[in-house]
Amino acid sequence: MEVADYTFFPTRVVTIQFPETGPLNADLCDLLERRPELDDRSNVHPDAQNLLHLAETVPAIKQLRSMFIAGAKQWLAAEGIAGPEEVDLLLFSNRMRRGESTIVHNHSTDLIGIYYARTADYDRPPISAADGGDYFEAEDGVLVLHDPRFNANLTSVSNRDHIKVYPRPGLMLIFPAFVWHSVTPHRGDFHRLSFAMNFTLRWPPGPAERHSLK
Ligand SMILES: [Fe+2]
């Protein structure tokens, strides 16, 4: 008897806990406190307000851009992808008041980065790969990553069709943009603040012919 066991089509999620981000996070929170009109969280499309237009005048945004680029490089290296020459960047914030949540969505780009500036406190690690957590328990401000395989929850009775992320300030996640994700209701009396970056990879011109459709 010959038995083979494969895990096909895994989805890579990279997390980075940046050290000593207190001053950066304070600056980011202060920026959105002073200018709440910058928050454009409900718009995940390319016409969203791109906070990177502040990069040359707001040092915290410039620093955040560098951190996101470092995160994307980590994800690409982990996945063994060396081809992209450039990347288009779109940065927007998600500033949540008490009781607010984010329904399931994905982003129309290649990679998503999320960085947390202010969150609730949790007495557990940000991710437990062995235990996805109770799917229906709406804990305080938890990011839920949903299995991108359609109806994956129907194929097993295990808890492996989602992963919960218990965020903390200074934490960044990088994952493919096809991963559906949501956020359970924020319960604190402060603004929970995260930033999302859309990464659209730019590849060198290939040998394919291109024709006009007009
Ligand atoms: Fe999102």
User: What's the pLDDT at 132?
Assistant: 72
What is the radius of gyration, based on Cα positions, of the chain? Answer: 18
Short-list 196, 170, 198, CA closest to 183: 196
Distance 49 CA to ligand 1 centre (A): 15
Q: Which two tokens stand for residue 65?
A: 């851009």
Distance 177 CA to ligand 1 centre (A): 9
For the whole model, what pTM was predicted?
0.92
210 within domain boundaries? no
User: What's the pLDDT at 131?
Assistant: 73
User: What's the pLDDT at 43?
Assistant: 58
Distance 83 CA to ligand 1 centre (A): 25
User: What's the pLDDT at 42?
Assistant: 61
- For 157, the domain range is 14-202
Largest alpha-carbon pair distance within the chain?
Answer: 68
Q: Give pLDDT < 70 ranges for the chain.
A: 41-48, 156-159
Please tell me the distance from the alpha carbon of residue 13 to that of residue 107, in angstroms, as a whole number. 15
Distance 181 CA to ligand 1 centre (A): 6
Number of domains composing the chain: 1
7 within domain boundaries? no
Distance 92 CA to ligand 1 centre (A): 10
Q: Write the CA distances from 108 to 111, 112, 197, 205, integer angstroms.
A: 9, 9, 12, 21
User: What's the pLDDT at 194?
Assistant: 97
CB-based contacts of 154: which residues, under 8 Å, 6+ apart?
none
User: What's the pLDDT at 159?
Assistant: 65
Distance 81 CA to ligand 1 centre (A): 23
34 within domain boundaries? yes
What CATH number is attached to the domain comprising 71?
2.60.120.620
Helix, strand, coil percentages in the chain from 3-state DSSP, rounded to 5: 20, 25, 55
Distance 63 CA to ligand 1 centre (A): 21
8 within domain boundaries? no
Distance 123 CA to ligand 1 centre (A): 24
